[in-house]
Amino acid sequence: MRYVVNPRGVLSIHVFRRALSGASRRCETRECAAFSPFGDDLSNQGEGSGEGFVMSVLKRWQCLMICVFVAGAVSVSFSADVKSSGDGSIKPGETRVRTTNPADPPPYFATAPIAISFAPKFEAPGEDWDVIMLRLNLLVGSHRAVYALDVGALANLADYKMDGIGVAGLFNAVGSSDGAIHVAGIFNHAAYDFSGCQISGILSLTEGSHRGLQIGLGNYAGKIVGAQIGAFNYAERLVGAQIGLVNINGGPGVPFLPIVNLAF
């Protein structure tokens, strides 16, 4: 999402600046000890007004500030509705299912046998490297690709690919996999195709084609060639079996069956 300059925001700032400029000119004439940008009626109040005069000034300034903040909030809300184009983001009405690996994978820099990571941007080697033996993530690890063993206290991230065994306390999130076993306490996510097994405490999610097994409280796949085992299973296209309380198949075959749903 990209924020752009909003004419409403520019107008509100312009009005506010004019109000301050006018108030300053009135103050320079020494007609009053305090001023209000909403009018000159306060200058006609005598110095004996005391506390009532001060409270009136403060209330009017509070009103001004509230108007400014409201105008700014409206401006930002209108700006946030403007989406950038040409960046590959999912637009309203477009499908979330991805059936192929990314056409332009993240740039490759170099390969390292071992990596240690504390958090994204705090790892050795850098996140644009491929790791081919072991990655140990003290909290969260993020690299271009990981092959072999990936262990994280909280999360394991791989922009392009994670093959091998990935174990995370919370979640694994990868671009794709050509053969892996991913185990996570909360969820596993593959943005594109995945081959292997996802085992999750709550959700196993493959946006593209999943070949293998998904196990979790809930399972979702753009296309599943294999099996889903969980309380809630959903596949845009099922080639195999769904075993659970709720089984939904968006492709050919029976669209809904409890306990077991089969399609080939």
pLDDT in tens, 14-40: 444 454 455 445 544 444 444 444 444
Report if residue 61 sits inside a domain: yes
Pair (73, 140) in one structural domain: no
Per-residue pLDDT, 255: 96
Residue 100 lies in a domain: no
What is the extent of the structural domain holding 207? Answer: 200-264
Q: How confident is the model at residue 39, as a pLDDT?
A: 46
Mean pLDDT lowest among 13-27, 119-133, 238-252: 13-27
Q: Where is the domain boundary, 185, 217, 238?
A: 185
User: Across the strands, what pairs with 136?
Assistant: 116, 151
Q: How many domains does the chain contain in total?
A: 3
- Residue predicted with more confidence, 81 or 51: 51
| Judgement on whether residues 171 and 233 belong to the same structural domain of the protein | no
- Single out the residue in 185, 220, 249 at which a domain terminates: 185
Do 115 and 175 belong together in one domain?
yes
- 116 in a domain, yes or no? yes
Binning pLDDT at 50, 70 and 90, where does residue 60 land?
low
pLDDT for residue 42: 44
Bigger pLDDT: 116 vs 99: 116
74 and 19 in one domain?
A: yes
128 and 68 within one domain: no
- Provide mean pLDDT across the span 56-60: 60
Chain mean pLDDT for the chain: 75
The answer on pLDDT for 157 being more than 80 is yes
Same domain for 181 and 204? no
152 and 207 part of one domain: no
pLDDT at 78 over 50: no
Residue 92 lies in a domain: no
For 92, other C-beta atoms within 10 Å of its C-beta total 5
Q: What is the mean pLDDT of residues 149-171?
A: 96
| 90-97 mean pLDDT | 39
Query: Is the pLDDT confidence value at 205 over 70?
Result: yes
Mean pLDDT value of segment 83-103:
41
Residue type, 142: S
Angstrom CA distances, 200 to 26, 82, 129, 182, 230, stand at 68, 36, 27, 8, 10
Give a yes or no: residue 91 inside a domain.
no
Do 179 and 205 share a domain, yes or no? no
What is the rounded average pLDDT of the residues 171-197? 96
Cα torsion angle, 95, 98, 103, 107, sign:
positive
Name the domain boundary from 80, 97, 132: 80
Q: Is residue 99 part of a domain?
A: no
Higher pLDDT, 233 or 85: 233
Statement to judge: residues 14 and 75 lie in one domain: yes
Residue 98 lies in a domain: no
Average pLDDT over residues 125-130: 91
**What is d(CA 158, CA 75) in angstroms, rounded to the nearest whole number?**
37
8 A C-beta contact, residue 235 and residue 250? yes
Same structural domain, 206 and 256 = yes
pTM of the prediction? 0.62
Residue at 71 is within a domain:
yes
